A and B are shown apart, each in its own frame.
Chain A
Amino acid sequence: MSEVPDSQHVLDDVVQREYQYGFSSDIEQELLEKGLSEDTVRFISAKKQEPEWMLEWRLEAFRTWQRMKEPTWPNVTYPVIDFQDIIYWAAPKKKEGPASLDEVDPELLATFEKLGIPLDEQKMLTGVAVDAVLDSVSVKTTFQEALKKVGVIFCPMSEAIQEHPDLVRKYLGSVVPVGDNFYAALNSAVFSDGSFVYIPKGVRCPMELSTYFRINARNTGQFERTLIIADEGSYVSYLEGCTAPQRDENQLHAAVVELVAHQDAEIKYSTVQNWYPGDAEGKGGIYNFVTKRGICEGARSKISWTQVETGSAVTWKYPSCVLKGDHSIGEFYSVAVTNHYQQADTGTKMIHIGKNTRSRIVSKGISAGRSQNSYRGLVRMNATATNGWNYSQCDSLLIGDQCGAHTFPYLETANSTATVEHEATTSKIGEDMLFYCNQRGIDTEAAVALIVNGYARDVINQLPMEFAVEAQKLLAISLEGSVG
């Protein structure tokens, strides 16, 4: 007696691919002891030889944080975090400051090489300048000289504090205030490094800027701080990528990103987030609690967020736009994938203040395994936002029947001339679709990748070309073994 092969079984048996960035590097680390106090903050500030004003800023943030409570409203659950059980400073040990690449620890270069981020400028993707941040410290920023020629500043945040204190003092915390939320306050107190970008008036940044974040050390948190300022009439496209080693324990990542777009300026900010998501049983993984916000300060300015989120055990993240300038534009394009036991509560906020401001939200959630994927978005039309316009499209794609997709749209309109449109769909990758692909010779894994990339196409198309290809592969990899 023979049976038609049960493709359900075939799907069930598909091997799970390991998280391919899960290695850890044997780099000599300088670690602070676990725990958080004013002394920790002072230590970090001293380590970075920061000016007094910076220390004061951090201490105020720390005191604010102590009075705050962890938010419980996101649709995610995780054990209580013991903030005294985290290391707040880890740095690759180095001899006196490496001036050139030759002096950087070869093991460290090998780490970035393994991640596909060669720091050797000769080997770089043409037109992409990279700042690489390992644990708490920025390791190497490439193409600085070429950028300097056109007046673009692209450097580690710690260097900006030393070299461009006026810009940092003016803008740091201007978009995400110290006391904005629990994790933003924590970040403000203990942030170690991150990237700083300044594009002068009328300059179109000649290359993509990119920061690569990597958590390596055990038990450490990563708290990076990014600040991008696009002065009048300038343009910049910025991309961040993130990975972490595979570890049994959860690690905390609490970043803050602030964007400022002046009159007629445009900032395009793209993220491919692939922090370690935990294993198939939900053990380990990164807690990704991030505050990202941009302000369209001047008239006709534009900020566009594009994110492809496949990693992290728990994600809590709402890249937002404050549309202050008249005729300014905010955009949010997101693909969030959750598999196994991952939880994501992500979305955006579009705050319309100026007249004729426009925003567009395209969110594509993909849930597989036993994961939970929530879209949470706020569109607010202030009384001043005459003729404000928003269009939101929130789609959910379910793979299997043990995952969840949730949508929490909040609409607040205080101006009767404003238009707010919201569309939402939920669909499933059906057996019919998979069988159709199989019948054409496409195996199930490839079929899922094909279908998901089709579903996410509107968002992927927003990414710079080099990264769109990476993002497509990443989507396919994170969903391997998800059907069944």
Chain B
Amino acid sequence: MTPILEITNLHASIDGNEILKGINLTIQPGEVHAVMGPNGSGKSTLASVLAGREEYTVTEGTVVFHGHDLLDMSPEDRAREGLFLAFQYPVEIPGVSTANFLKSAVNAQRAHRGLSPLEPAEFLALMKERMALVEMNPAFLQRSLNEGFSGGEKKRNEIFQMAMLEPTLAILDETDSGLDIDALRIVANGVNAQRTPHNGMIVITHYQRLLNYIVPDVVHVLWNGRIVRTGGKDLALTLEERGYDWIKTESSVEA
């Protein structure tokens, strides 16, 4: 089976500071991987580097996505090839309706796959169906993208966009941050509805809480730019119990 994603010895830095110091991670179809770790361990950097944010420089290592060199692709081509990032801080675009934004995104991705644009009626029906996954009101379609949305509404909108774009690899960057327990449940249900035997997910989170709802196949602990522990879903529970200090101490000894 060809992995969806294969990260080997990935090093990345920003402004000359090395943040990622040799990441190895392989995701097979159907797998959900949780990446946990204390603040500043490099979790969001990993998400940004995979999505192609320009501020980061990859200094070493390779990333293979569906058999292609991911690092050689532009951010839009990564998206068109099936990589989706649910942003920790979704951007507001005044005057551009959520519907219009999604239409541009979906049709750009369809064009990349040699498909014609969706008919307006077909597109509207699809949007309404997918919004229901995150219990979003269709009135949001006509509102400017994320403008005036609450924190929870923005996160739901991210998962709605994911449902529209049907990525093969979704990276959820602290999607649980700023969510109350009800919103967390809704967002998690939306994500779970999109789990298939063919796609993969990387769920980045600081807390174990989210993983009660989105149950991962593999849990990684990131610290100081490296994955220092990998285990099953129980690892998250252990972390919840013992905190990150335990990992830090052990890793320092090993180093």
Contacts and interface: CB of A to CB of B under 8 A. Distances in A.
Interface of A: 1-8, 10, 431-433, 435-444, 446, 450-451, 453-458
Closest 10 CB pairs of A and B: A454-B95, A454-B96, A440-B105, A438-B75, A441-B79, A436-B91, A457-B95, A441-B109, A7-B54, A441-B108
B74 A441 contact: no
Contacts of A436: 87, 90-91, 93
A4 B96 contact: no
Contact of A443 (B59, B108, B144): B108
A2 B71 contact: yes
Contacts of A432: 91
Contact of A456 (B95, B104, B112): B95
Contacts, number: 110
A451 B100 CA distance: 11
Nearest to A455: B95
Given A2-B61, A5-B52, A443-B76, 10 more contacts: A6-B54, A7-B52, A433-B91, A435-B51, A436-B91, A437-B101, A438-B52, A439-B52, A439-B76, A440-B79
A4 B58 contact: yes
A455 B93 CA distance: 9
A204 to B, nearest CB: 31
B132 interface: no
Interface in B68-90: 69, 71-76, 78-80, 84-85, 87, 90
Contacts of A451: 93, 96
B74 A453 contact: no
Contacts of B51: 435, 439
A441 B76 contact: yes
Contact of A439 (B58, B85, B93, B95): B85
A2 B96 CA distance: 35
Interface of B: 12, 49, 51-54, 56-62, 69, 71-76, 78-80, 84-85, 87, 90-91, 93-96, 100-101, 104-105, 108-109, 112, 144, 161, 165
Among the interface residues A2, A3, A440, which one has the most CB atoms of the partner chain B within 10 A?
Answer: A440
B76 A454 contact: no
Contacts of A3: 57-58, 71
A12 to B, nearest CB: 12
Contacts of B62: 2
A442 B71 contact: no
Contacts of A443: 74, 76, 108
Among the interface residues A3, A441, A457, A458, which one has the most CB atoms of the partner chain B within 10 A?
Answer: A441
A7 B165 contact: no
Contact of B165 (A1, A10, A440): A440
19 contacts: A2-B58, A2-B62, A2-B71, A4-B56, A4-B71, A432-B91, A433-B91, A437-B101, A438-B74, A438-B76, A439-B52, A439-B79, A439-B87, A440-B104, A441-B76, A450-B100, A454-B94, A454-B100, A456-B95
Contacts of B56: 4
A440 B51 CA distance: 10
Given A450-B96, A451-B93, A457-B95, A439 B54 contact: no
B94 A8 contact: no
A430 to B, nearest CB: 8
A4 B52 contact: yes
A431 B51 CA distance: 14
Contacts of A4: 12, 49, 52-54, 56-58, 71
B108 A5 contact: no
Given A4-B54, A4-B71, A438-B74, A433 B95 contact: no
A13 to B, nearest CB: 11
A432 B57 CA distance: 17
A431 B91 CA distance: 11
A101 to B, nearest CB: 38
Contacts of A10: 74
B35 to A, nearest CB: 18
Contact of A442 (B78, B95, B108): B108
A454 B93 contact: yes
Given A439-B51, A440-B165, A5 B73 contact: yes
Contacts of A441: 76, 79-80, 105, 108-109, 112, 165
Nearest to B110: A441
B53 A435 contact: yes
Contacts of B80: 441
Contacts of B93: 433, 436-437, 450-451, 454
A378 to B, nearest CB: 27
A1 to B, nearest CB: 6
A468 B51 CA distance: 35
A116 B254 CA distance: 73
A441 B107 CA distance: 9
